[in-house]
């Protein structure tokens, strides 16, 4: 049985995945009162079946979550001195130089000296941590929604622990930005579009898919990349703590959706595939950091073709999906509905990760060590 094909235009608003002009046309705005309202209409489900452990794997994850709590205020070495410019210089030196990997001749960057490159590194770090912060607030809101809308008591129990996790993540990223870095950025427009879609959807499993599988999965990969690259011991430890939580969150999504997706029709699975594809594209688009180039006085349309031509750029972007693709495979989404999502992930250049370690195995390894005893490397 086949289902009606949706075009890229229908799903992401443009036909070509790499249409840079269309990507950059999505520009963020920030409300004057500092609030962003998203209307959502969904059922809040009470269950009168309080039997704990009906879903043993979820119950086991809940017990692990209770033992894995940590205090963001007292368990991290906040007295660590962070010299942001020095860290940028050290990170660049470790990679072979500021402009390593792409040809800047004939671009506005050709005349840059160390001062401008360091400023770019500082702004990039401010931007990256700001987007981590905004994403964590999105996860906080989505997980609170899951507590209300998921129909199983074991899932409600576990999701309540994740609400606490996400509050802690918002707290530590905000504190690091405020006390150790030098500026905030508003939420990226592509990230906000995705968060709005997830929160506005009335179906509880779409909240799981969008947040637990897609956003948290990409965040786990991005945190891992930054953890391996940063010379800052405070940020390294902060990320290590957060990564263990995130791996547990993604495992929760996989465990919950595996059972539910077995009951869906081909047409319903296609809707989930299209949602996963849209989420993947939105998250990829946000990593162009167009707001950073704007702040540096460089037209993103002028410089991004050069940045995107760097030999390791595609590899970096693909690596971000190393957690998402194997989990979509585990959920049966890659090959459902005539393998539509497999085809789209192939177009994105990320299908190579389908056999990577899935997050359930990864979490088991991370959870083996109590939070306050985790190594920094």
**Residue 207 CB coordination number (10 Å):** 25
Mean pLDDT of 203-223: 93
Length of the chain: 377
Q: Tell me, what's the pLDDT at 370?
A: 56
257 near 331, Cβ under 8 Å?
A: yes
Q: 245: pLDDT confidence band, cut at 50, 70 and 90?
A: very high
pLDDT value, residue 377: 38
CA distance 42 to 130: 29
- Cα–Cα distance list, 70 to 59, 96, 136, 217, 234 (Å): 20, 37, 16, 21, 15
**Which pLDDT score is estimated for 319?**
80
Q: How confident is the model at residue 357 (pLDDT cuts 50, 70, 90)?
A: confident
How confident is residue 376, by pLDDT bands cut at 50, 70 and 90? very low
- Number of helices (H), then strands (E), belonging to the chain: the values are 17, 0
Name every residue whose Cβ is closer than 8 Å to that of residue 2 and which is 6 or more positions away in sequence.
337, 338
pTM of the model: 0.91
Radius of gyration of the chain (CA): 21
| Proportion of the chain above pLDDT 70, given as a percent | 92
Query: Once rounded to an integer, what is the mean pLDDT over residues 15-29?
Result: 86
- 149-177 in b/e form (b: 16+ CB < 10 A) is bbebbbbbbbbebbbebbbbbbebbbbbb
Confidence (pLDDT) at 369: 59
Architecture of domain 61-68+84-93+112-373: Orthogonal Bundle (1.10)
Highest mean pLDDT range out of 64-73, 100-109, 283-292? Answer: 64-73
Confidence of residue 263 (pLDDT cuts 50, 70, 90): very high
Rounded CA separation 344/338 (Å): 12
Label residue 172 by pLDDT band (50, 70, 90).
very high
Residue 375 has pLDDT above 60, yes or no: no
Residue 343 pLDDT more than 80?
Answer: yes
Distances (CA, A) of 181 to 82, 121, 167: 8, 12, 20
Averaged pLDDT for residues 109-132: 94
């Amino acid at each position: 049985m086949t289902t009606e094909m949706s075009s890229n235009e229908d799903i992401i608003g443009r036909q070509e995945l790499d249409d840079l002009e269309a990507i950059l046309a999505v520009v963020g705005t920030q409300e004057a009162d500092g609030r962003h309202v998203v209307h959502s209409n969904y059922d809040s489900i009470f269950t009168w079946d309080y039997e704990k452990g009906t879903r043993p794997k979820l119950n086991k994850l809940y017990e692990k979550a209770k033992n894995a709590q940590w205090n963001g205020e007292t368990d991290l070495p906040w007295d660590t001195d962070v010299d942001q410019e020095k860290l940028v210089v050290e990170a660049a030196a470790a990679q072979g130089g500021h402009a390593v990997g792409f040809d800047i001749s004939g671009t506005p960057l050709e005349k840059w000296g160390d001062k401008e490159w360091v400023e770019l590194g500082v702004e990039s770090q401010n931007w990256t941590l700001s987007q981590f912060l905004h994403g964590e607030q999105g996860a906080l809101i989505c997980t609170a929604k899951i507590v209300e809308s998921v129909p199983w008591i074991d899932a409600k129990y576990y999701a309540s622990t994740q609400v606490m996790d996400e509050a802690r993540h918002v707290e530590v990223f905000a504190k690091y930005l405020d006390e150790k870095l030098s500026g905030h950025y508003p939420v990226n427009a592509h990230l906000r579009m995705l968060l709005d879609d997830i929160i506005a959807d009335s179906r509880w499993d779409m909240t799981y898919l969008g947040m637990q599988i897609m956003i948290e999965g990409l965040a786990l990969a991005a945190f891992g990349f930054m953890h391996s690259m940063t010379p800052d011991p405070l940020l390294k430890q902060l990320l290590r703590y957060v990564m263990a939580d995130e791996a547990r969150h993604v495992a929760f999504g996989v465990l919950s959706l595996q059972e539910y997706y077995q009951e869906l029709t081909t047409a319903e699975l296609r809707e989930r595939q299209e949602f996963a594809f849209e989420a993947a594209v939105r998250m990829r688009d946000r990593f162009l950091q167009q707001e950073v180039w704007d702040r540096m006085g460089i037209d993103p349309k002028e410089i991004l073709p050069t940045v995107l031509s760097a030999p390791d750029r595609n590899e970096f972007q693909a690596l971000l999906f190393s957690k998402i693709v194997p989990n979509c495979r585990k959920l049966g989404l890659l090959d459902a509905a005539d393998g539509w999502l497999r085809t789209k992930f192939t177009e994105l250049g990320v299908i190579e990760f389908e056999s990577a370690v899935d997050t359930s195995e990864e979490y088991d390894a991370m959870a083996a060590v109590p939070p306050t005893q985790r190594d920094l490397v």
